[in-house]
């Protein structure tokens, strides 16, 4: 499976190990209900060792580990350029893999990383459930702010999850989530909306079940990601009729379900949303509606359109 996925990959980007490949500031609703600016730094580092079928994050990674000091330098680079960064209470350090992968982020750099994050009240990093462990405790104890770990559940559909090649079971996911809770670390969960092998109707049903599963694992935030092609493998599945991206309405319905539960925060990922729109007339209104729901965590009126 790994080989089949690797053989279909397009080229990766050429990156500088001392410069993050991107950084941004976005608004996000916090647990206390305020809308706060959140800084995100997309770290340049060694590629994740897993080979998930739908993953395209490797495109902005390196084939070798970065030198010691490179990750703290990348954080300094981004923070110096993010206007008004001291006003951001939250920072996401997303590394296209697992922060606790020692080939990606050297553990010797944790202290220097934590030092640079001193002004943040909340620090969010990503991890595969298999790497949740001692590294989390080390980082948690070095940070002044609270640690939140984002894990990809992807889907609660056991067979589709197996076919995604993530090499993770639902049981492993819930054990990692339980461990985080026991160690006073918050959990954010990524859920794919319409992974391959599901039709539109099944996709909505399994997005809902995945939201339920994430909440059973005590997620405080669930991020709904429309599944996309573009990594070679997914394009081939699309050509075979085994994958198509979700309709915008499916994402809206999944977000509406999650927000309606009022068990935590549910955000629809709006990145590149236009790709899943099929109607130019209502696209902007639908996007604005999802953005409002993300920020208010309440269900706003549906968009009426002939489409
Ligand atoms: S674990 Fe995450 S980053 Fe790694 S290959 Fe899978 S989806 Fe991509
Ligand atoms: Zn329309």
> Percent of the chain, pLDDT > 90?
97
In this predicted structure, the answer to whether residue 85 has a pLDDT above a threshold of 80 is no
Candidates 93, 97, 98, 163: which one to mutate for ligand 1, based on the most atoms within 8 Å of Cβ? 97
Q: How many residues does the chain have?
A: 307
Ligand 2 mean position, distance from CA 285 (Å):
9
H helix or E strand, kind and range, residue 192: strand 186-193
122-147 pLDDT, tens per residue? 999 999 999 999 999 999 999 999 99
Which of 188, 210, 207 lies closest to 199 in space, CA to CA? 207
Is residue 86 scored above 80 in pLDDT?
Answer: no
**Across all residues in the chain, what is the average pLDDT?**
96
State the pLDDT at residue 87.
78
Token pair, residue 284, equals 């902007």
From 57, 59, 62, 227, give the residue whose CB has the most ligand 1 atoms within 8 Å, as the site to mutate. Answer: 57
**Cα–chain-centroid distance for residue 304?**
30
Q: Which residues pair with 224 in a beta bridge?
A: 191, 268
Give the pTM.
0.97
- Do residues 21 and 44 make contact, with C-beta atoms less than 8 angstroms apart? yes
**Which of 281, 282, 223, 233 lies closest to 254, judged by CA?**
223
Can you tell me whether residue 25 is helix, strand or coil? strand
Within 8 A by CB and 6+ apart from 161, the residues are 154, 155, 168, 169, 170
């Amino acid at each position: 499976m790994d080989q089949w996925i690797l053989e279909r990959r397009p080229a990766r980007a050429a990156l500088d190990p001392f410069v993050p490949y991107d950084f941004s500031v976005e608004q996000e609703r916090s647990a206390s209900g305020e809308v706060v600016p959140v800084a995100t730094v997309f770290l340049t580092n060694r590629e994740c060792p897993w080979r998930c079928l739908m993953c395209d994050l490797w495109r902005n990674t390196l084939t070798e580990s970065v030198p010691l000091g490179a990750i703290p330098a990348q954080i300094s680079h981004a923070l110096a350029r993010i206007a008004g960064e001291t006003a951001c209470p939250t920072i996401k350090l997303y590394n296209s893999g697992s922060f606790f992968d020692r080939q990606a982020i050297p553990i010797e750099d944790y202290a220097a990383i934590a030092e640079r994050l001193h002004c943040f009240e909340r620090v969010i990093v990503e991890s595969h459930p298999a790497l949740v462990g001692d590294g989390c405790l080390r980082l948690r104890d070095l940070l002044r702010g609270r640690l939140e770990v984002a894990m990809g559940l992807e889907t609660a559909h056991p067979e589709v999850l197996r076919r995604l090649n993530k090499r993770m079971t639902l049981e492993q996911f819930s054990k990692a989530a339980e461990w985080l809770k026991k160690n006073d670390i918050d959990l954010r969960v990524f859920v794919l909306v319409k992974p391959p092998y599901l039709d539109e109707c099944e996709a909505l049903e399994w997005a809902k079940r995945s939201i339920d599963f994430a909440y059973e694992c005590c997620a405080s935030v669930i991020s709904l990601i429309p599944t996309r092609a573009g990594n070679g493998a997914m394009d081939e599945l699309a050509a075979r009729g085994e994958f198509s991206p979700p309709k915008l309405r499916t994402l809206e319905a999944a977000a509406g379900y999650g927000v309606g539960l009022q068990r935590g925060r549910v955000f629809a990922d709006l990145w590149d949303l236009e790709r899943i729109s099929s109607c130019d007339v209502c696209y902007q209104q639908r996007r604005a509606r999802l953005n409002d729901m993300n920020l208010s965590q309440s269900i706003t009126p549906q968009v009426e359109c002939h489409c």
